[in-house]
Structure 1
């Protein structure tokens, strides 16, 4: 995680916030439960992280008209700029992981990490 932490040190966001932005950038607006699952975060943590990111102007949150308890989160242009500005560096970091581990071990690592995903067992 050290290369990722180094990359994020200049952005002012955490690893968890980076994951949230990556998921929103890739999949678009989604409810907080789905976002927590796809970001490998616990739902209570996601609620707090989303609020912090909203205050930073990186995401917007809106309530579902039918179910007021349900909220949707969407990336803002400022949040997308962080992704765009660091995507090539993030891609290089992943390529370095693949080179070090080899393709098969890298895929195994992803599979093992998925097993630890709190949303993977729902």
Structure 2
């Protein structure tokens, strides 16, 4: 009879172990700035895209339109995004960073960099590149498109 493997024998166990610690630390960092990780993902995407329709944003970050709508409403309340309606069609709207949003995104980006450095700064450049390549290959091989937001 084959021996049952130990939990620690699985790569997935170690990925989850590291991911939980890295993600939790980052969530705490951004929450001190008044945003969630999901809100950070949306804000960061808006930095690159500029004013965009929420449906396009949902497709880009791999969330449902309903989930994006809820995030947008929270970010509107926090004055981190602005919503504009089309003059021709009031149903068509775009979302963009507000002046406050444009100020906070670089702050959150630095927190992401600090978090990465805390957990992966001890790796040599070659080790970090190898880790990136391995993880990206797993993502490609599985065809995953949704951005990690939780």
The alignment's TM-score, normalised by the length of structure 2, stands at 0.65
RMSD over aligned CA atoms reads 2.6
- Cα gap change, 1:104/1:34 in structure 2, threshold over 3 Å: closer, same or farther? farther
- The TM-score with structure 1 as length reference comes to 0.78
Contact 1:59 1:76 in 2 (8 A): yes
Aligned length: 118
| 1:50 to 2:79 alignment | no
Q: Identify the residue that residue 103 of structure 1 maps to in structure 2.
A: 129
* Aligned partners of 1:32 and 1:70 also within 8 Å: no
Tell me how far apart the structure 2 counterparts of residues 29 and 107 of structure 1 sit (CA, whole Å): 32
> 1:77: which partner in 2?
99
2:24 aligned with 1:2: yes
Q: Which is higher, the Rg of structure 1 or of structure 2?
A: 2
Say if 1:19 and 1:49 are closer, same or farther in 2 by CA, change over 3 A.
same
Q: Which runs of 5+ in 1 are unaligned?
A: none
Provide the residue aligned with 2:60 in structure 1: 38
Query: Runs of at least 4 residues of structure 1 off by over 6 A?
Result: none
Identify which range, 109-118 or 19-28, moves more after superposition: 109-118
